[in-house]
Every structure is written in C-alpha cells, then in structure tokens.
Amino acid sequence: MNNNKLHALFNDKLIWITGASSGIGEQLCYDLSKLGARLILSARRSDELERVKNACAQPDKHLILPLDMLQEADIIAAADKVNSQFGAVDYLFNNAGITQRSLINETETDIYRKVMELNYFAQVTLTRQVLPGMLARGEGHIVTTSSIAGLIGIPYRSAYCSSKHAIIGFMDSLRSEVHDKGLRVTTLCPGFVRTNIIETARREGTAQEKVEDTVIKNGMSVEAAIAQVLDAVANEKEQVVIAEGKEGMGPIIKRFFPSIIYKMVRKMALT
C-alpha cells in the first residue's frame, strides 16, 4: 500500500505502542509518526522513550507513558489514565516482549514465568483494559506481535515459543468474539528481525551471557519488517507472517509437511 493511502488511514489516529523504546516498537513510532498519527509510547525506560519521541515526526503530538508491563497494577493504572484523558484508542500495538535462549534442562521455572508474564499475561491484561472503550465506540484495532516461533517450536527458546503460541490462541479467541462489533484483531508473526532483543534478554536474565544469536543478526531489517506490518494492518489481515524469503515458508511447510519442518529445526544451533 502506498504512503498516501497509509497516511489517509493513520493520520490523526490515536495509537498506543508498547515496547516503544527499541526494535519493532521503536520503528513503528517513527513510521507511524511520519503518517500523521498521534502516539502514546510505553516502555520502562523514560530516557529511551524521550529519545524515541524526539526522533519522531512532530514530537509535540506524542505522549510518553512509562510502564512496567510486569506489574499488572501499573498496566491497569496506565490504561485508566489513557481512557480518562483520551477515551478509546484507535489502535493498540501490543509489542512489548522478551526472548529467551537456553536449553530446557538448564532453564529455571522463574524464567518460564517471567517470559510468560510479559509475552502473554501482560498483553492479555492491557487488551482487556482497552477493550471496553473500543466496544462502546464500535471501533478499534488491536495489533499484537507474536512470532513465527508462535507457530513453530524451535530449540533453545522453549519459554519464548510457549508464550508466543499462547498469545496467538488468545487473539484468535478475541477475534472470534468481536468480529461483528466493529473491531479488528491482527496477529503479527515476525521471523528473525535485526533488533537488540537478545541484548535485552541478557540484561533481563532470560538469556545466558555467553549466548549470541546469529539468526537474528542475519535477519531482515526492522525497516522492511515494519513495511510489511503496516501493510497487514491497513489491509486488516487477521494473522500474517512477517518474513523474507524461505523463512516465511516455515508455517506452510509445517502445515502440509510437518515431518520436514521438525527435521529442519533440529539443525538450529545455540551459537
């Protein structure tokens, strides 16, 4: 979809983006601000949110709302603030998340709980907080970042894959409930995108210090990923794989030739 059509769609829309301080969320802020959107930027680090906001087009149009997505009370308070100050948002981009890199027999239960809390429960909580306003207005679009790893389980990322599978199931259920109420639900399933997600995981203790991630370093650019994201949202896709080349064929191969994909993922190395 060309920029004129995207501008007509997003111009002056109120869009809340979580995970806005880096990676996919950061690039979403830049691209959507260029399209005239009014943004609410959320992440934990206020200084990073300020940096992103100031790099956006028309920074005075946008609001930073620091938010720790691991604290349910903070999510509810932030949603109450948005609802009271602005009313229902036009778009919610559930983009906050964390990865994990370790063997199952070396991964403690608290890592599973932390990853699931951020990648699943926090998204569910925030979605449920904005949902009543959207339903009352009969309009709104909820966009949630899952992953190809939410469609295909891969080694060394068992906690991550589990959480991303779970959020796909929740969004499928939500979509079925609101399909006739004016709301749209889009689930994004990116492949490997060149972001700092593994550095964040090391900092948060969900990836070992020694671990690198060559598949992320060799992944698609975040700019190319966001181009596909905006096209999917504009076309109201229900679920879409965001990838380039053969990586995007993985879910199709799993559907029709599952034994092949199981053999392929066994070759993924922890490097």
Active site residue 112: no
Catalytic residue among 30, 120, 160, 262: 160
If one counts every other C-beta atom within 10 angstroms of the C-beta of residue 41, the result is 28
Residue 98 CA: distances (Å) to CA of 10, 32, 163, 201, 232: 27, 23, 10, 6, 23
The order of strands in the sheet holding 239-242 is 63-64, 38-42, 14-18, 91-94, 140-145, 183-190, 239-242
Burial class of 83 by CB neighbour count within 10 A (0 to 12, 13 to 18, 19+): middle
Q: Quick one: CA dihedral 144, 164, 251, 154, positive or negative?
A: positive
Terminal-residue alpha carbon distance, the chain: 38
Catalytic center residues: 160
